[in-house]
Amino acid sequence: MNNSVQVSATIPDWSREMPERGEWQPGRELMRSLRGYQRARTHGWFSSLFISRLWVLAHRFWSAVAGTDIPINTEIGGGLAMPHPNGIVIHADAKIGPNCLLFQQVTLGGNEHGAPTLIGHVDVGAGAKILGKVTIGAHAKIGANSVVLTDIPEGATAVGIPAKIILPKGDQKREKSEG
């Protein structure tokens, strides 16, 4: 949740999810298996059927290690960061745009109306739950342990249960000096 560097909401930064050599990074390994599977499935060759089965095994292994439930076919834009992947649960119909960040224990859950969409560069704090067919705008932030039940506009910060939009302290100071 670092504002100092502007992260794109549309152009994936693949370095955010590539495993680094010699590092213990279950979240990145999990993403690698998911990408490998989805890539293999786009080829119609017989060999890619075999390769995709190997990626399924890798995905199951890393899901167990990380304690996550992220279906292997989930639509995820490049650059998804999960620094502490424990307890992350994502509905199979959820859509995640480029360069999003999910902290531990985040749920993107579905209901009878559908599942959440994160447009791009959305940061979701630890333990937050985003439920139903809601859209979280680009560059939005969701506070730790919040429960989001409605759409959140681009660039907004939402906290609480149910989540409400707040002005972060930096913006409050700017508003006072301008007004």
Ligand X SMILES: CC(C)(COP(=O)(O)OP(=O)(O)OC[C@H]1O[C@@H](n2cnc3c(N)ncnc32)[C@H](O)[C@@H]1OP(=O)(O)O)[C@@H](O)C(=O)NCCC(=O)NCCS
Rank residues 40 and 96 by Cβ distance to ligand X and give the closer one: 96
Could you tell me the smallest distance in angstroms from the CB atom of residue 175 to ligand X?
12
Could you tell me the smallest distance in angstroms from the CB atom of residue 123 to ligand X?
7
Q: Tell me if residue 111 falls in helix, strand or coil.
A: strand
CA distances from 139 to 11, 23, 35, 132, 163 (A): 13, 28, 24, 20, 16
Q: Phi-psi region for residue 45, left (φ > 0), alpha (ψ -120 to 50) or beta? A: beta
Could you tell me the smallest distance in angstroms from the CB atom of residue 41 to ligand X?
33
Could you tell me the smallest distance in angstroms from the CB atom of residue 119 to ligand X?
17
Q: Tell me if residue 5 falls in helix, strand or coil.
A: coil
Rank residues 27 and 36 by Cβ distance to ligand X and give the closer one: 27
Rank residues 40 and 142 by Cβ distance to ligand X and give the closer one: 142
Provide the β-strand partners of residue 96. 76, 118
Rank residues 23 and 112 by Cβ distance to ligand X and give the closer one: 23
Could you tell me the smallest distance in angstroms from the CB atom of residue 141 to ligand X?
4
User: Any idea what DSSP says for residue 132?
Assistant: S
Calpha distance 130→106 (Å, rounded): 8
| CA geometry: angle 146, 150, 153, nearest 5 deg | 95
Q: For binding to ligand X (CB under 6 A), which residues are involved?
A: 1, 84, 103, 125-126, 141, 143-146, 157, 159-160, 166, 168-169
Rank residues 73 and 172 by Cβ distance to ligand X and give the closer one: 172
